[in-house]
Structure formats: C-alpha cells, structure tokens
Amino acid sequence: MFTIDAHLDLATNAIALNRDLTKPVLEIRAKERQLGWKDTQDRGNGTVALPELRKGNVGLVVATIISRFSAAGNPLPTLNLPGWHSPEQAYAYGQAQLAWYRIMEDMGEMVQVCDLPALEKHLALWQDESIANDKKPVGYILSLEGADSIIDLRYLEKYYSQGLRAIGPAHFGPGRYAAGTHSDGSGLTAIGKNLLREMDRLRIILDTTHLTDKGFFEAMNIFSGSVWASHQNCRTLVPGERQFSDKQLKCIIERGGIIGGALDTWMLDANFEMSKHLPEDLDIKMEKLVDHFDHICQLAGNCLHVGFGTDLDGLFGTEQTPYDMNTIADMVLFEDILKRRGYSKEDIQNIYHGNWLRLITKTWS
C-alpha cells in the first residue's frame, strides 16, 4: 500500500552523520561497524535509507531540516546535534541540509512536493505499476524541526520560496521561537507568536510536536491554519511531557489535524529505558503503536486523525525500534496488524496515506 511517513530526518543523517542514503541500509550499517564509529548510539544500527523507502512503498515523506541555536551558557539536550552560536550560522547549516535534498533531486533519487500539481503528478507516478519502485523518486515535503534557523521573518519568506511547507517551532530545550521538550513551563516567545501569524498567512502547516503544554495551547489559540503532530504518541498510555494528553489530542482532532504515530520504543512502552533495555527485553513489537492508534481513534470516534510519522532515523536505530522491525521497508507489515486488530480496508488506507493527503490537499487548495 502506498505509504506516507510524516517525519524523517533524512538530511540530518546525510549531513550530520555522514550517511550515504542512496546505499542500502545493510551496506550503511556494515560500513559504520567497519569504521568503528561510536559517536551516536545508532551507529551500525540504522533502519532508513532511500532503497528501503522504495521497498516499503514509502513514496512520500515529510523530510526535515534541523538546525539549532544555542545561547551562551545554554547547552542543548539534543543527542549530539550541534547548537550554533548565532541564528545566521544555524540558517547556513540548514541551507547545507537543503543542498543535500537538491542534489538528491538532481540524481533522480527524490523530488520535492510543494503544491497540488506536484502532488498529483507524484501520486500518479507511484500508482503506475508498469514502473518499478526502484525507478521512482521518493517525494518529500520540506519541514523545519525547530524554527531557530529562521533568522527573522524575511527568512521565513526565503524558506517558503525554497519549498518549506511545515514548521515545528520547537525541538528539544529552549528555542528562539518556542520552548521544546524538557522545557515544560515555558511556551512561545514574542517572536514565536509573530512567526505563527506569518505561517498562517503563507498557509504553512503547524507541526505541534515537541511543543510544551503551555506552548501548545498558546499556539492553538493564535494559529488558525492546518495543524498536525508529525511524530507524537499518547500520554495516557506512556506518561511524560513528550507525549500529548487527551486534551491536546482532542484539540488537534477538533481542528481536523492528524497525529503521526512514532516508533521510538521509549514512546511505545513506559518501562523502556534507553541504554538499559533492548526492545526484545520488554517484548516491544510494532503492534504497540496500534495501541496508540486505537486510543486516538476512540477519542475521535473514527480513524481519520492518525497516520505514520515514524521518526525511525531520529538518531536511533534497531536498538530503539520494535524488535520485529528490521528496516523502514517493514512498514508493509502494519497492514496485516491493523487488519487483525479490526481496522477496515478503508481505515487502513486512511492510516497509510489517506488522512495525510486529505489535510495536505485541503491546505494547498
């Protein structure tokens, strides 16, 4: 089934982690193990590359730029992601990530999707069974995870002209525009509120993932456009400020938004501790994500507000992925899991792609 993944950090992996994503996952793993790289926990364990996206029929992704600013004396709790000393440096680093996407376009590996004609053309290509998947480019919608690299609102216009169509104002820790995960109690900054108003004007989608509780409700009061939570699970099932409460989930549902289920094991099982447990220790399988889907569908009364936002390349690999999943190509296995859990064919189609397409189409119409 055609699959949309609403959150992958492809350029971060390519630029910050020096991964050639045109190569198969197993080849990337083998090279990192041979080199003995240990700078991040997922070295030699990665699960995402362009060949595996094609194998799994993941034909469209929301792909990020991540570039953080770190004020003096304010270290970032972000797993080795650099915190630049000025917004100007952060913007330049973001442009390096954008350059990688552009090169992938030149190579025919990827294609940017930023308006309805491009979306319709790309969907038609992936529906053409006479063309093998390995001959098709992976489509990407450009998103910022953390807005720090927007030097000022003039640079929001620059980003938009480059195809940016979604922004998550926050990431981890304090940010220039909004506080993020591990900064609970803080919310939007003054410039963050202005950013949301300009995003509204440009019809840029608001990604609420990583916003603090305070920032979330501030944002929802200011922003009137399309919203999603690209990679977000349920606090009722896995306590902690990184997950959303039922009140937050209902707020997204009422706005017609979508919640993308994330496959990071510490977001799937409250007992999982990083660097202590392996997924098999706690029997964390792919099906755990469907528990979160079930909960959101019960809150909504339908299956129109859930999808996949796997975050499978978010600086973790098989050491922090459901143990019955080897690479992102295994997304196809969810079809049988969902069917066994009672989801109809229409429900499954909506979860795999229909819900995301409905929101994107409405936003860009």
The one-letter amino acid code at 189 reads T
Does 76 score more than 60 pLDDT? Answer: no
Q: Which of 292, 348, 352 is nearest to 322 (CA)?
A: 292
CA distance 49 to 46: 8
Q: Check pLDDT > 60 for residue 80.
A: no
Instruction: Name the more confident of 183 and 164.
Output: 164
On average, the pLDDT of the chain sits at 96
| Residue-wise pLDDT tens digits, 278-298 | 999 999 999 999 999 999 999
CA distance 281 to 158: 47
**In angstroms, rounded to a whole number, what is the distance separating the alpha carbons of residues 343 and 287?**
13
- Report the pLDDT value the prediction gives residue 311, as an integer from 0 to 100: 98
Cβ pair 311, 9 in contact under 8 A: yes
Predicted local distance difference test score (pLDDT) of residue 83: 86
pLDDT value at 75 more than 60:
no
The per-residue pLDDT for 185 is 86
pLDDT tens track for 196-254: 999 999 999 999 999 999 999 999 999 999 999 999 999 999 999 999 999 999 999 99
The predicted pLDDT at position 71 comes to 77
Percent helix / strand / coil, the chain, rounded to 5: 45, 15, 40
Residue 184's pLDDT is 86
Considering the four listed CATH numbers 1.10.540.10, 3.40.50.720, 3.40.50.10860, 3.20.20.140, the one that applies to the domain covering 3-364 is 3.20.20.140
Question: Of all helices (H) and strands (E), which one includes residue 144?
Answer: strand 138-145
Average pLDDT of the residues in 140-146: 98
159: left (phi over 0), alpha (psi -120 to 50) or beta: alpha
Res. 50: pLDDT tops 90: yes
Q: Per-residue confidence at 82, pLDDT binned at 50, 70, 90?
A: low
CA 107 to chain centre: 24
pLDDT band, residue 84 (cuts 50/70/90): very high
